[in-house]
Homo-oligomer: A and B are copies of this chain.
Amino acid sequence: MENLKKKIEALAGIKSDLSDKDFLLTWEKSESDLNMILGVAEVLIGLRQKNISPKVFESGLAISNFRDNSTRTRFSFASACNLLGLAVQDLDKEKSQIAHGETVRETASMISFLSDFIGIRDDIFLGEGNKYMREVGAALDEGFENGVLPVRPGIVNLQCDMDHPTQSLADLMHLKEKYGSLEALQGKKIVMSWAYSPSYGKPLSVPQGIIALLSRFGMNIELAYPEGYELLPGIVSLAGKNSIESGGSFTISNSMEESMKDADIVYPKSWAPFHIMQLRTQLLKDGDKSGLKDLEELCLSNNAKFTDWEYNERIMRHTKNGNALYMHCLPADISGVSCKKGEVSSSTFEKYRLITYREAGFKPYIIAAMMFTNKFANPSETLRKIMERDRRRIIF
């Protein structure tokens, strides 16, 4: 309990600027902001362990707007909302029709009269997801400024075409726990590697989010992929710039095996090339079904050239002490388990399976911390009051 109090006090020293701001991209947030999110998330975990309820809302709605299927993130969002006292109301494709322009503007207002947060997942179309979130945000601003909305609901990016901040921050929290501090990440080598998958159209947001975030903590980042599987150039150059500023390094490799040399951490995960995703967005907009079919076939046959980009014990041998920390956002495509040949061999995955589960377990608290810091300008003070109130989550 003393430990928890000290953590809360320490947060008072962090000058963050998260209050009343949407959380859309990690690179729009300062290191202090990120530190605050991680710190609040740690305290929330500690409170839960001690059966102290951090309920800060007597009532209120949080809207989950998933424009793509999801289990992990949906449950993380629901858990975070419930922890703080908010009820979740789904706004999904089956239940409504969302589009652009007036429809977005209007729907954003209609769902927000008594809402405190909107969590949005929109990761399918390159160039669309993050734009959509900002369109919603602008509509909420307008509604709030004109007296339509009593409060301006905060937006949490639950994955877009550019970034997956709740994932990358959960991953960062995982690394912070493993190595003891963010400072300890300085000089650690992480390989964000493409890996083979028999599926097509996997989003870019996880690798982009990882390189853009971890490059800020002095890590040596190696981005590995077969030629042609580029990420969005703007985000790659941002990662490079970050690395220089943070005293780390950023390199690109076209060999999974070579990239792994002396790696402390590896993150082997499939994605689609950004130019393919751009093409796909255009074909979808044009409603060109045969074009889309051709593109899918082309992609799958292209992927099939790189089935050797499987993370396995042979490749792992090259990492530091043959024992790098394996990370994944889950679900992984596991060879012989979820597919014939996939991102990772089953024996390698099995070795790290529970650790990847643990990694995922940080996400609900990251989301809760994002909402908490949006709503309370002085998180340390509010957490202190929660400690003092000492309300039990399981009441008896």
Q: Is A110 an interface residue (CB 8 A)?
A: yes
Q: Are B75 and A111 in contact, CB atoms less than 8 angstroms apart?
A: yes
Q: Is A251 an interface residue (CB 8 A)?
A: no
Q: Per-residue 0/1 for A55-70: is the Cβ within 8 Å of any B Cβ (1 yes, 0 no)?
A: 1111111010000011
Give chain A's interface secondary structure class: mixed
A104 to chain B, nearest CB (A): 12
Q: Within the assembled complex, what's the spacing in Å between the Cα atoms of A395 and B60?
A: 11
Q: Is A49 an interface residue (CB 8 A)?
A: yes
Q: Are A102 and B334 in contact, CB atoms less than 8 angstroms apart?
A: yes
Q: Is A148 an interface residue (CB 8 A)?
A: yes
Q: Per-residue 0/1 for A353-396: is the Cβ within 8 Å of any B Cβ (1 yes, 0 no)?
A: 01001101101100000000001100000100110000111111
Q: Are A338 and B56 in contact, CB atoms less than 8 angstroms apart?
A: no
This chain: how many copies in the complex?
3
Given contacts A87-B87, A109-B357, A115-B79, whether A103 and B331 have CB atoms under 8 Å apart is yes
Q: List 16 A-B contacts (CB under 8 A).
A: A48-B150, A53-B58, A57-B393, A58-B394, A60-B82, A61-B79, A69-B95, A71-B96, A71-B110, A75-B110, A78-B87, A79-B113, A85-B395, A94-B94, A103-B338, A143-B357
Contact of A59 among B53, B361, B396 (CB under 8 A): B53
Contact of A394 among B110, B375, B395 (CB under 8 A): B375
Contact of A110 among B59, B115, B360 (CB under 8 A): B360
Q: Within the assembled complex, what's the spacing in Å between the Cα atoms of A115 and B143?
A: 34
Q: Smallest CB-CB separation from A116: which chain B residue?
A: B394
Q: Within the assembled complex, what's the spacing in Å between the Cα atoms of A85 and B391?
A: 14
Chain B residues near A360: list those with CB within 8 A: 109-110, 113
Q: Are B58 and A114 in contact, CB atoms less than 8 angstroms apart?
A: no
Q: Is A83 an interface residue (CB 8 A)?
A: yes
Given contacts A49-B150, A85-B59, A337-B102, whether A72 and B110 have CB atoms under 8 Å apart is yes
Q: Is A13 an interface residue (CB 8 A)?
A: no
A355 to chain B, nearest CB (A): 9
Q: Is A330 an interface residue (CB 8 A)?
A: yes
Q: Within the assembled complex, what's the spacing in Å between the Cα atoms of A101 and B336?
A: 11
Q: Per-residue 0/1 for A78-121: is the Cβ within 8 Å of any B Cβ (1 yes, 0 no)?
A: 11001101011101001111000111001101110111000000
Q: Per-residue 0/1 for A25-54: is the Cβ within 8 Å of any B Cβ (1 yes, 0 no)?
A: 000000000000000000000001100010
Chain B residues near A103: list those with CB within 8 A: 331, 338
A81 to chain B, nearest CB (A): 8
Chain B residues near A69: list those with CB within 8 A: 95-97
Q: Are B396 and A386 in contact, CB atoms less than 8 angstroms apart?
A: yes
Q: Per-residue 0/1 for A213-254: is the Cβ within 8 Å of any B Cβ (1 yes, 0 no)?
A: 000000000000000000000000000000000000000000
Given contacts A71-B111, A91-B71, A360-B109, whether A393 and B83 have CB atoms under 8 Å apart is no
Given contacts A57-B395, A58-B55, A59-B393, whether A79 and B148 have CB atoms under 8 Å apart is no
Q: Is A152 an interface residue (CB 8 A)?
A: no
A392 to chain B, nearest CB (A): 7
A135 to chain B, nearest CB (A): 15
Q: Is A146 an interface residue (CB 8 A)?
A: yes
